[in-house]
Amino acid sequence: MLAAWGRMLGAVGLLLAALVPIASADDGPARLVGPFTRDDYPQAVIDRPLTLPAGMVEGEIGGRFVSQRQTFQPFTFYPPLVSGVDDWYLDLAIRVGITDRIQLEAGTAFSLDHQERGYHSSQGGFGFDPRANLTSWQRVIPLRVSVLALDTEALDTAVTLTLPFTAYQDRIVHFPRGGTRIVRNGDGRVLPAVQLAAPTRWRLTDWLWLRAGQDLFTVTTAEGLARFAFLFGVGVQPHPMFALTLDSRIAAVSFDGSGNSSSTTLADYGDLLLEGTFTPIRCLDIVGGLDIPNLSNGVDTYAIRTAVRVRF
């Protein structure tokens, strides 16, 4: 529901407004335009370029908990039943500054645990595990190339191309009462989609910025389904060690190969991504985030992620 999304967004907005800058004026103005080196790379997130400087390497290790809940009523005379799935993941990524304007990134993820909750768990499960891949490795390696297109004191823009290479996997599920079903992790294509983005940051003050374009365009290589997404976010930097961002998808438009289209807006789902970054030293980030993909259905489905980034 949009009203619930608005109330939550307003509450977070009040929190952001309360985080006034507390950095000392004696620190002097930060340098906002690169190129940078490892020794003078900005500690504050708001001051950093959108790509790593030449020769700098950033490694990231993160943990993600995803909780999905569903309420259903199997029969009209039954009370509503709640069921769901909890998943724990480990993700790895490495980023390399090829030049002061070109960055390469690769990563992957591993499943640590998968548990059914609620009604299905008490009844012995869904009857089959719907995952196509029962191994730990999730069989996807996204490769991303980022080019810093604009680097100024007020406005920064990059262009990114992401290629999510996928190792195909399928599995035959045998049901207890007979019958089988094949579950797959895709259509068998090594490259199921191509993603383009134009992350942009508009620095309003020394501690406040707006951003957009992080997830702009995706096209599938099989059906030719194209999707445009319009994200908008706000960030605050009350101290060089602390940064907080709040992002939401304003709208999304999809087109299929037959020329049909569909669109969604905040009124339809209202997703929310809140992320905080703690940087005790300029080469280390400790990140925590909360992702709620559909506030219109409440907060029963959400994801929590923590990560550590090290630059050298």
The single-letter DSSP state of residue 130 is -
pLDDT at 209: 97
Structure confidence by residue, pLDDT tens digits, 136-149: 888 899 999 999 99
Structure confidence by residue, pLDDT tens digits, 33-66: 878 888 889 999 999 999 999 999 999 999 999 9
Is the model's pTM score more than 0.85? Answer: no
| Sign, CA torsion 279/65/197/107 | positive
Structural domains of the chain ordered from first start: 2-311 (2.40.160.40)
Where does the pLDDT of residue 267 fall: very low under 50, low under 70, confident under 90, or very high at 90 and above?
A: confident
pLDDT at 295: 75
- 73-81 long-range Cβ contacts below 8 angstroms, 24+ apart: 81/118, 81/119
> For 68, how many CA atoms within 13 A lie in the half-sphere containing its CB?
8
At residue 3, the 3 state secondary structure works out as helix
pLDDT at 17 over 60: no
170: nearest Cα among 189, 185, 192:
185
pLDDT at 6 over 90: no
Backbone angles phi, psi at 6, to 5 degrees: -65, -40
- Bridge partners, residue 172, by sequence: 182
